[in-house]
């Protein structure tokens, strides 16, 4: 499939914050996009889901439990979460900000959002599980899987890894008349000269979809796998309502982007020296260090501020595993 890179990046300006756009570097756009498209849409054969969900090891259960506490309080297996709350039928108006001028810093600054991680902190501070070292609590309790330390030395608190963007694909299973869709749908955009797909957006979950005439669809911008699925179903319903026999086949999460902040500065020049096989740091081109982890196969963007973007995951566990791998390495570069 021929893609115009600039059209694509414009398409991704929307509620969905794509790290690709916000990375700001065109050289990353092109290859990342093409790889993604080649792998997912052109060939139907799905990727090998290499890693098993690492729920056994204590460290990853740490991540899971902290994630779950963020979600709904009771901890438990990731898959067994049974909280069925219906979405309110609340159609608040969308915040139509142009994500055009987004820089990488702004994507990463999101990890400073007080809403998510800090509520979690204060809720759990009294029920402090000493294992939850990710956002450690109080002098004297500070233990983390990464830095066992004397009780007197508190740990640098750090934001938990939060999901920023999920990209998924689904096959609606029938050819679509894009012109017709663009005419009949309020939330659709279609410029065939620029890009061969309809760009559709919904308010809740705030996402953007690319709908192709083949019936294949890409959904971006969701903050969790479940939200991505819900959003994709809504788009499918819209297409159905417009009269097409749309189905919901082969829904698959293609990419997950997460970010976090380790809260200390990082000597990128040092990191690229010691981890040369995995790192690429060209300050003339991009301020962050690009770390291509082999196992799991995740790409991390590491910045001097200590903020880290993780992408390329097909499953949440991969993100957490990647973070667990990189954190001790980063700690090594904490002070000179």
Choose which of 230, 248, 252, 331 interacts with another protein (CB under 8 A). 230
**Smallest gap from residue 86 Cβ to another protein (A):** 6
Residue 2: strand, helix, or coil: coil
Q: Identify any residues that bridge with 279 across adjacent strands, giving them in sequence order.
A: 291
Establish if 57 lies at the interface with another protein (CB under 8 A): no
User: Residues 6 or more apart from 255 whose CB is under 8 A from it?
Assistant: 36, 165, 166, 167, 311, 312, 313, 314
Q: Is 42 exposed, middle or buried (0-12, 13-18, 19+ CB in 10 A)?
A: exposed
Farthest-apart Cα atoms in the chain, separation: 67
Choose which of 62, 176, 220, 261 interacts with another protein (CB under 8 A). 261
| CA pair distance 2, 196, nearest whole angstrom | 9
Choose which of 89, 98, 193, 294 interacts with another protein (CB under 8 A). 89
Q: Which stretch binds another protein (CB under 8 A): 46-54, 211-219, 233-241, 322-330?
A: 233-241
Establish if 174 lies at the interface with another protein (CB under 8 A): no
x-or-dash pattern for another protein, window 11-30, by CB under 8 A? --------------xxx--x
Size of the site for another protein (CB under 8 A): 94
| CA pair distance 19, 27, nearest whole angstrom | 13
Task: Answer for the pair 87, 202: CB distance below 8 angstroms, yes or no.
Answer: no
**Smallest gap from residue 264 Cβ to another protein (A):** 6
Choose which of 267, 325, 329, 332 interacts with another protein (CB under 8 A). 267
| CA pair distance 181, 188, nearest whole angstrom | 7
Q: What stretch of H or E contains 294?
A: none
Q: Which stretch binds another protein (CB under 8 A): 39-47, 54-62, 209-217, 280-288?
A: 280-288
Residue numbers 317-336 binding another protein by CB under 8 A:
335
| CA pair distance 321, 327, nearest whole angstrom | 10
**Smallest gap from residue 76 Cβ to another protein (A):** 13
Establish if 48 lies at the interface with another protein (CB under 8 A): no
Instruction: Tell me whether residue 268 or residue 300 sits nearer to another protein (CB atom).
Output: 268
Q: Identify any residues that bridge with 211 across adjacent strands, giving them in sequence order.
A: 198, 217
Q: Which stretch binds another protein (CB under 8 A): 41-49, 191-199, 300-308, 313-321?
A: 300-308
Residue 168: strand, helix, or coil: strand
Choose which of 62, 185, 293, 322 interacts with another protein (CB under 8 A). 185
**Smallest gap from residue 307 Cβ to another protein (A):** 9
Edge-to-edge strands, sheet with 162-171? 188-189, 197-202, 207-212, 216-222, 162-171, 249-261, 307-313, 298-302, 289-293, 279-280
Instruction: Tell me whether residue 38 or residue 57 sits nearer to another protein (CB atom).
Output: 38
Choose which of 265, 274, 295, 328 interacts with another protein (CB under 8 A). 265
**Smallest gap from residue 56 Cβ to another protein (A):** 25
Residue numbers 115-134 binding another protein by CB under 8 A:
115-118, 121-122, 125-126, 128
Establish if 192 lies at the interface with another protein (CB under 8 A): no
Instruction: Tell me whether residue 46 or residue 184 sits nearer to another protein (CB atom).
Output: 184
Establish if 98 lies at the interface with another protein (CB under 8 A): no
| CA pair distance 158, 284, nearest whole angstrom | 29
| CA pair distance 131, 187, nearest whole angstrom | 46
- Both tokens assigned to 180: 């017709």
Instruction: Tell me whether residue 36 or residue 251 sits nearer to another protein (CB atom).
Output: 251
């Amino acid at each position: 499939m021929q893609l115009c890179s600039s059209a694509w990046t414009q398409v991704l300006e929307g509620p969905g914050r794509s790290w690709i756009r916000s990375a700001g570097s065109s050289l990353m756009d092109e290859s990342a996009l093409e790889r993604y498209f080649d792998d997912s849409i052109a060939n139907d054969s799905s990727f090998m889901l290499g890693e098993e969900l690492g729920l056994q090891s204590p460290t990853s259960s740490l991540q899971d439990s902290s994630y779950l506490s963020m979600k709904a309080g009771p901890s438990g297996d990731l898959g067994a979460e049974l909280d069925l709350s219906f979405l309110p039928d609340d159609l608040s108006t969308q915040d139509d900000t142009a994500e055009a001028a987004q820089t990488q810093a702004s994507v990463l600054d999101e990890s400073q959002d007080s809403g998510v991680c800090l509520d979690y902190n204060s809720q759990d501070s009294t029920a402090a599980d000493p294992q939850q070292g990710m956002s450690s609590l109080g002098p004297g309790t500070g233990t983390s899987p990464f830095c066992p330390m004397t009780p007197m030395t508190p740990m640098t608190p750090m934001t938990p890894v939060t999901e920023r963007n999920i990209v998924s694909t689904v096959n609606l299973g029938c050819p679509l008349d894009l012109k017709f869709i663009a005419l009949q749908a309020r939330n659709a955009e279609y410029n065939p000269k620029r890009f061969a797909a309809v760009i559709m957006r919904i308010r809740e979950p705030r996402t953007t979809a690319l709908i192709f005439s083949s019936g294949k669809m890409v959904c971006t911008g969701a903050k969790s796998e479940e939200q991505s699925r819900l959003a994709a179903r809504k788009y499918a319903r819209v297409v159905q309502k417009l009269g097409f026999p749309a189905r919901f086949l082969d829904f698959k999460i293609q990419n997950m982007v997460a970010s976090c902040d380790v809260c200390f500065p990082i000597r990128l020049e040092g990191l690229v020296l010691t981890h040369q096989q995995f790192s690429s740091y060209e300050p003339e081109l991009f301020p962050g260090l690009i770390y291509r982890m082999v196992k799991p196969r995740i790409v991390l963007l590491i910045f001097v501020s200590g903020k880290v973007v993780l992408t390329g995951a097909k499953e949440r566990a991969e993100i957490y595993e990647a973070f667990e791998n990189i954190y001790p390495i980063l700690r090594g570069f904490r002070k000179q």
